[in-house]
Structure 1
Amino acid sequence: MSLPVYRGLTWDHPRGYRALEAAGREVAPGQGLTIGWDRHSLEGFEAAPIADLADRYDLIVLDHPHVGEAVAQDCLQPMESLFDAYWLAGLEGAAIGRSLASYHYGGSHWALPLDAATQVMAYAPDRIETPPATWDAVIALAVHQPVALSLAGPHAILSFQSIVAALGGAGPVEGFVDRQAGRAAYAIMAALTGATSRAFLHANPIALLEAMAAGEPIDLVPLVYGYVNYAAGGRVGFADAPRGPAGIGSILGGTGIAVSKRCEVTPALRAHLLWLMGEETQRIFIPAQEGQPSLRAAWTDPAVDARWGGFYSGTRATLEAASLRPRHDGAIAFQTEASARLRAGLVEGEAADPVLDAIEAAFRRHHRKGTEL
């Protein structure tokens, strides 16, 4: 009898596909199923309409800003319909930071936290011995060493949100951000939008880290989504995000594995998903495949940390402190528009208030008042 066949979609980076493809080859057949994984670009992962993907795939690796859109389109199956509530409660405690909580929206969880990441500091260890710990220190370092902001795609507004959090500014409620903290965050970003930031203006996080690992003239990126892959062999150093008066500010990333409405969930598929989230898989199998696990047991394992150049211990505090992005239906469109406006304002040297006014207007257009964020 032939095994049930499932199609999955993940993103085209070793962190995104190697563990899943290896599990599909080496583990799934023994569990009684076949899983094939397709890949799309980081930009597709960040912005592709989730309903379109759910029409074509059984399993989708996604980021938490997509969940409000997915709920509005009714295209995913809630995890509560597939797994025991007791197991999900245990996973909430086992997952690092808000990795599972980020996929809870409208009363249900819409994905399992396969991978954990947040914006951290990346630096060239051969040119920076001790990375700066505060935003003031980052600005001081940028006077004499090349420092780049991560500004491509949605990352300008995500960096802005992280700085606002470090400054103690309020997160989105009815408006996007309080004006005082917004001005201060914009001033920090404006001070860092120098020649290096402009040279790498359209480089996504992968491209920034690739450039640093290759020895290009970029000594520090104060906020960039961490990729354990570049820590091996000391190619890139990673440290906690810069602190402000309110402490570490960072906006959660990572990925979850979601199940589309079209998917016929068999006991074999449930077993495979449970295996992916198991402690041994997360602590041993996924790191061995260049993955970045979501369970705290892996992030606190000394052997895992040593193998990957201290990446986990160096950034764990940031991940534990990270904030969530807006997840309402319209969040993806908002972050795209707001990031483009912020990036243009920084490059053109605009004053803060017109840029912040435009961001607030975009937030009001893309978020229906009173709906969950």
Structure 2
Amino acid sequence: MTQPALNVHDLSITFRVGGQGKPRGEVRAVDRVSLAIAQGETLGLVGESGSGKSTLARAIMGLNKPRNGSILFEGKDLAALSSRERRKYSRRIQMIFQDPYRSLNPRLTVEQLIAEVWEVHPDLLPAKQRRGRTMELLESVGLGDQHLKRFPHELSGGQCQRIAIARALAMDPSVIVCDEAVSALDVSVQAQILNLLARLQREKGLTYLFISHDLSVVQHVSDRIAVMYLGRIVETGAADEILEAPRHAYTQALLSAVPHPKPWEMPERDRIILTGEIPSPLSPPTGCGFRTRCWAAEAICADKRPELEGEGGHTVACHLPEKVLFKRIRATSEAP
């Protein structure tokens, strides 16, 4: 990889959990996570709800304070900057949120929603140029100037998400964090927004961190994929490698849940039903966090926490990746 556009290194984020006026303990929502995203690349970050994906995204945006680690962007560690110092760099990293209605101020028109960013950062664009730039942004996301005076409640979910994208582009970012950006939309609208994001990336050379719990979406937009479980990255690699030859048991379980139009053509993706205890974030398992649900776990999995290892860019945090793959192939071959 060349110089990454965004480099998250050894990042940890913890939250205190209270009860009856006394803290019950700490939840390590993000646990020593490292990610590097090249300029113009899309990194898909997947995992089930509660795995720490959105917490990581909010840390990148400066909304969650890391306990330790670094977030390197344009030569600066954003995690170490003050709020004032960070403001200069944070405009180059924008975020598209999950719910387009909740992310837009219902009292502002579309024109006001987009122009609001220039009120906060007046040096970005002179006031006399803002109306024209707003119409350019609307056109770039497939909307016309007839939407300028409309309010969010007068628009569909897909139109609101396009407005959110236009507002992010108004800051002229180089990196955009998409946090479940299409999960609240109908399937047909999802396709339109994904195609829009792909076109904007080609035209503007944007870098995306695309966060989702839905691998069927991530596999269509990502160059590389990182899989997150219980606050840790358990597997990373090129999208094709992750989808065709997953090496972690959790990744295989996620892939098995992706619907396929012709399931009889993909017997190796028979549904994996996870059993065992679902760990509590307050008291995670020793060693491998997934061992309580893994069909290939052995004693070493409880004694020692696996680190990300691998070759050719495909890494996995597993003591027994060959056994996991063998067990899965064997189980599939014996299926009726």
TM range (shorter): under 0.3
Q: Normalized against structure 1, the TM-score is what?
A: 0.25
Q: Which has the higher contact order (CA 8 A, sep 6+)?
A: 1
Greater helix percent: which structure? 1
Greater strand percent: which structure? 2
Q: Normalized against structure 2, the TM-score is what?
A: 0.27
